[in-house]
Amino acid sequence: MSKNIKVNAAILIIGNEILSGRTQDTNTSTLATWLNSIGVKVGEVRVIPDIENIIIETINLLRKKYNYVFTSGGIGPTHDDITAQSVSKTFGLKYEIHKEAFKILEKYYKKGEFNEGRQKMVWMPKNANLILNPTSGAPGFNVENVFCLPGVPSILKSMLGGLKNKIVGGEPILSHTISLKTVESEIANSLSKVQNENDDVEIGSYPFFHAGKLGVSIVLRSENQTRIDECSSQILKFVNEKKIEIVER
Amino acid sequence: MSKNIKVNAAILIIGNEILSGRTQDTNTSTLATWLNSIGVKVGEVRVIPDIENIIIETINLLRKKYNYVFTSGGIGPTHDDITAQSVSKTFGLKYEIHKEAFKILEKYYKKGEFNEGRQKMVWMPKNANLILNPTSGAPGFNVENVFCLPGVPSILKSMLGGLKNKIVGGEPILSHTISLKTVESEIANSLSKVQNENDDVEIGSYPFFHAGKLGVSIVLRSENQTRIDECSSQILKFVNEKKIEIVER
Task: Give A9-36 pLDDT, tens digit per residue.
Answer: 999 999 999 999 999 999 999 999 999 9
The sign of the CA dihedral A9, A13, A19, A20 is negative
Q: Which of B24, B42, B77 sits opposite A29 (nearest CB)?
A: B24
Count Cβ–Cβ pairs < 8 Å, chain A vs chain B: 193
| pLDDT bucket at B4, cuts 50 / 70 / 90 | low
* Nearest by Cα to B124 from B72, B85, B74, B78: B85
Mean per-residue pLDDT, B124-131: 98
Q: Which chain B residue has its CA at the smallest distance from A32's CA?
A: B21
Q: Which chain B residue has its CA at the smallest distance from A177's CA?
A: B22
Nearest-Cα distance to chain A for B198, in Å, is 13
CATH architecture of A7-166: 3-Layer(aba) Sandwich (3.40)
High-pLDDT (> 70) share of chain B, %: 98
| pLDDT bucket at A4, cuts 50 / 70 / 90 | low
User: In this structure, what DSSP letter does residue A242 have?
Assistant: T
Res B1 pLDDT > 70: no
Put simply, the answer to whether B20 touches A44 (Cβ < 8 Å) is: no
Which positions in chain A touch B23 (Cβ < 8 Å)? Answer: 29, 206
DSSP-derived secondary structure for A70-135: EEES--SSSTT--HHHHHHHHHT--EEE-HHHHHHHHHHSPTT---HHHHGGGEEETTPEEEEETT
The answer to whether the beta carbons of residues A18 and A151 sit under 8 Å apart is no
CA distance A62 to A65: 5
Over residues B30-80, the pLDDT tens digits come to 999 999 999 999 999 999 999 999 999 999 999 999 999 999 999 999 999
* Nearest by Cα to B136 from A192, A187, A242, A214: A214
The sign of the CA dihedral A146, A151, A155, A160 is positive
Helix (H) or strand (E) holding A218: strand A213-222
Mean per-residue pLDDT, A131-144: 96
Put simply, the answer to whether B29 touches A23 (Cβ < 8 Å) is: yes
Q: Which of A44, A79, A209 sits opposite B192 (nearest CB)?
A: A79
The answer to whether the beta carbons of residues B17 and A45 sit under 8 Å apart is no
Helix (H) or strand (E) holding B36: helix B27-37
Determine which of A52-66, B2-16, B101-115 has the lowest per-residue pLDDT on average: B2-16
Q: Does domain B174-246 have CATH number 3.30.70.2860?
A: yes
Put simply, the answer to whether A205 touches B34 (Cβ < 8 Å) is: no
Over residues A79-118, the pLDDT tens digits come to 999 999 999 999 999 999 999 999 999 999 999 899 988 9
Which positions in chain A touch B47 (Cβ < 8 Å)? Answer: 28, 44-46
Nearest-Cα distance to chain A for B126, in Å, is 23
Which positions in chain A touch B152 (Cβ < 8 Å)? Answer: 207, 209
| pLDDT bucket at B100, cuts 50 / 70 / 90 | very high
Q: Which of A16, A19, A23, A178 to mutate to test the interface with B (most CBs of B within 10 A)?
A: A19
Mean pLDDT score across all residues of chain B: 94
Q: What is the pLDDT of residue A1?
A: 39
**Please, where in chain A does CATH 3.40.980.10 lie?**
7-166
Put simply, the answer to whether B46 touches A44 (Cβ < 8 Å) is: yes
The strand pair at A123-125 and B95-97 is best described as unpaired
Residues with Cβ within 8 Å of residue B130, at least 6 apart in sequence = B98, B100, B101, B104, B139, B140, B141
The answer to whether the beta carbons of residues B176 and B210 sit under 8 Å apart is no
Which positions in chain B touch A196 (Cβ < 8 Å)? Answer: 79
Q: What is the pLDDT of residue A95?
A: 98
The strand pair at A123-125 and B123-125 is best described as unpaired
Put simply, the answer to whether A118 touches B219 (Cβ < 8 Å) is: no
* Nearest by Cα to B46 from A92, A18, A206, A153: A18
C-alpha A117: how far from chain center: 29
The answer to whether the beta carbons of residues A21 and A188 sit under 8 Å apart is no
Which positions in chain B touch A48 (Cβ < 8 Å)? Answer: 44
Instruction: Output Rg (C-alpha) for chain B, integer angstroms.
Output: 22
Over residues B147-205, the pLDDT tens digits come to 999 999 999 999 999 898 899 999 888 999 999 999 999 999 999 999 999 999 999 99
Q: Which of B19, B36, B184 sits opposite A32 (nearest CB)?
A: B19
Q: Which of A77, A79, A192 sits opposite B195 (nearest CB)?
A: A79
- Work out the number of other CB atoms within 10 angstroms of the CB of residue B212: 5
| pLDDT bucket at A169, cuts 50 / 70 / 90 | very high
Res B2 pLDDT > 60: no
Q: Which chain A residue has its CA at the smallest distance from B177's CA?
A: A22
Q: Which of B19, B78, B185 sits opposite A77 (nearest CB)?
A: B185
| pLDDT bucket at B129, cuts 50 / 70 / 90 | very high
Q: Which of A29, A52, A235 to mutate to test the interface with B (most CBs of B within 10 A)?
A: A29
Q: At what angle do helices B153-163 and B27-37 cross, to 10 degrees?
A: 20
